[in-house]
Structure 1
Amino acid sequence: MMYVNDLKKSIKNVIKYEYIKERKSLLHIGYGIDNNFVRCTGASIYSFVKNNINEKMAFHIVAHNLSNDSKEKFKILAKDNNINIYIYEIDSSFFKDFPTQFSWPTATYFRFLLPIILNNIERLLYIDADVICLGKIREIFNINLENHIIGAISESEIANKERNKILGLNNHIYFNAGVLLIDIKKWNEFNVLDKAIEILNKYRNILTCLDQDMLNMVLTNHIKYLDKKFNWLNWWNYKDVENININNIVLMHFTAHPKPWDLAWNVSPICTSFNKDIYKNFEDMTPWKNMPLIPPKNYKEMEHYAKDLKKRGYYLESLKWYKNYLINKIIFFKEKNNGKKRDFNNRSSR
């Protein structure tokens, strides 16, 4: 338990919005976010409430750098829907040396805190902020994990082959870490946190999926594989709209980019008549309704958006974003090269 106490110390404040006093029958659902993922967390929480009106639920959010406006909106969400929301504000410096990517920010590691914080409950359903609930969740909480530490859903066949080969995993089914049914006691007894950090220190250069890779390596042979309806990845069969039955999906995971709250969503090929408004319909019932869509944030997103606009026939708008793409790409590589020169100069002066 080498790192547990250090991680506990990173919790600087706990905010409690409690509107359910009876705790025995609560279903516990957890998120790890920063302020960039607040709006979708709000929509996700509301989707659980809307589709499970007879359940009592507590939502646990490990967060960094939440604005006062975000906290106030979570308070309104809790009060309006008669649920409990707990926000654990942390100092993220514990994770300062952990690798990140644009699509995998520091907040992706916050899930490691939840079983430590909630060590007095039996089960936790960890959810990525881009997961929307479309059905009843009592079923997933009632699943017999058969002495396994987690319940999870397998990734695609291609991801299985690629990731298992890179990670050196044999006889393993690679799972998506965006939905995890966690046996808290077994997780902590197995000391998942310490084992994950050991993996990170030893295999950092091959962990391109970061904490998801870490968890696959640590928990191999300790996973109960669940039906894909509990983590239905949005890009699965998106072209085969006619054969997708929404009634067979409990949790829809918007893994691919762009996201439904992005400006590029409506012209993206993964946005279809089936999924186009699923997310928006829930966000519109939260304190985050009417928020503007988020424009592309880097040159790669700008390039994809420009191409999708062109495919949809929006030629002038496409040219505008293609110009933005070129400008931002040039700036990015200039700054990158200048950074390399500075690093070289710094090394030479030592």
Structure 2
Amino acid sequence: MFSNAINNKYEYLFAADKSANTIHIGYGIDDNYARCMGTSILSICRHNNAAFTFHILAVKLNHTNIDRIKNLARQLNINIIVYEINPAILRELPTFVHLPLPTYFRFILPYILHEEKYIYYIDADIICLNSANKLFSLDLQNNIIAAVPDLDWMNKKRNKALQLKDHTYFNAGVLVINIAVWNNFSVMDKVLAVIKKDPVLFRYLDQDALNVVLHNKVLYLDKIYNCIDPAAVNRNDIVFLHFAAHPKPWNIAWPISSICNDFNRHLYSACEQHTPWKNEVLQMPRNYKEMKVYAKALRHNGNIVKSLGWYIKYLVKKYAG
């Protein structure tokens, strides 16, 4: 299936350490998520003294982002390999505005890196706040993945929708993948089969499907390794902070939204300003969902007239665009 998966491959190899103990970290992105992925990579390198190779699976990136990725590798003295994925191999799979095609790229990583033991998949909207040494030293034994339980309401909602019993629904934003066991179990084939069978059921696409396919094959991690709700843990212990909700910290709506607070307000920007994307401005809404989020943030901030204007734009984009 993956013989024609890669259109191009770009290797930026600047790591001085040629150690066999290289930690392999993977991302799946498009141009819209390049800047936050760069910030994620910098945050990991800042808090961890290790030999890293970052594997970026992407649909065709523009030249600006390719150059910035190369500059980031040089700046941090790390290895970054970019795989330009042929989107045709996944063309039959459903996508949503907020869940584009690259969300499936995590499934391709174990096939590309089949000679390695583990691959650490991380969503691009995650930043590292502390050392992840314990996670990088983890022994999965015969478990296919390690993952973090999702929020309690998501656990109840998705288990009910997917008819999963005696299961803890996990968030797929951080996955430690046991490559040989994953490939032997044909996870990709099984995930695609269940999604194609009933695509409407899988509201969260590959994450839902992974929970179905990997039931009882998961080593569960502490929430500090994929923290979606900082109030549920000791903030000082958070290793990976996941900006899973909308707006994102690089959106124009972020500073005025209800989810932006004294704790998280500047965490992302403080990292991004040290990356090649440091001069990027906050991003305006690109689709109807982001228009709705911006309208809501404006209303929260007391700007009712402007909020109404963006809500009208949202309605027009959604139903007439």
Kept after mapping to 1: 8 A contact 2:246/2:293 = no
1:258 maps to a residue whose letter is P
| Structure 1 Cα separation of the partners of residues 296 and 288 of structure 2 | 12
CA spacing shift, 1:94–1:56, aligned 2, 3 Å: same
Kept after mapping to 2: 8 A contact 1:300/1:325 = no
Post-superposition shift, 1:106? 0.5
Q: Output aligned runs, 1:96-115, within 5 Å.
A: 96-115=91-110
Aligned residue for 2:207, secondary structure, equals: helix
Post-superposition shift, 1:333? 1.7
CA spacing shift, 1:62–1:319, aligned 2, 3 Å: same
Quote the RMSD (CA, aligned, Å): 1.6
1:119 maps to a residue whose letter is H
Q: For 1:281-308, what per-residue CA distance to the aligned partner results, in whole angstroms no more than 9, with x for missing partners?
A: 1110000002011112334433432343
Q: Output aligned runs, 1:36-185, within 5 Å.
A: 36-52=32-48, 54-185=49-180
Aligned residue for 1:329, secondary structure, equals: helix
The TM-score with structure 1 as length reference comes to 0.88
Counterpart of 1:324?
Answer: 310
The TM-score with structure 2 as length reference comes to 0.95
* Structure 1 runs not aligned, ≥5 long: 1-5, 239-243, 336-350
Kept after mapping to 1: 8 A contact 2:288/2:317 = no
Counterpart of 2:18?
Answer: 22
Q: How many residues align?
A: 320
Q: For 1:81-136, what per-residue CA distance to the aligned partner results, in whole angstroms no more than 9, with x for missing partners?
A: 10000000011011111111111001100111100000111111100000101111
| Structure 1 Cα separation of the partners of residues 255 and 201 of structure 2 | 34
| Structure 1 Cα separation of the partners of residues 8 and 285 of structure 2 | 33
Bigger mean CA offset, 140-149 vs 119-128: 140-149
| Structure 1 Cα separation of the partners of residues 100 and 196 of structure 2 | 18
Q: For 1:16-64, what per-residue CA distance to the aligned partner results, in whole angstroms no more than 9, with x for missing partners?
A: 0001261402111000111110000000000011111x21111000010
1:33 maps to a residue whose letter is I
Q: For 1:291-344, what per-residue CA distance to the aligned partner results, in whole angstroms no more than 9, with x for missing partners?
A: 01111233443343234323323x3xx413421321441353234xxxxxxxxx
Kept after mapping to 1: 8 A contact 2:258/2:300 = no
Post-superposition shift, 1:163? 0.7
Counterpart of 1:269?
Answer: 258
Structure with greater helix share of residues: 1
Q: For 1:168-190, what per-residue CA distance to the aligned partner results, in whole angstroms no more than 9, with x for missing partners?
A: 21111100000001111111111
Highest Rg: 1 or 2? 1
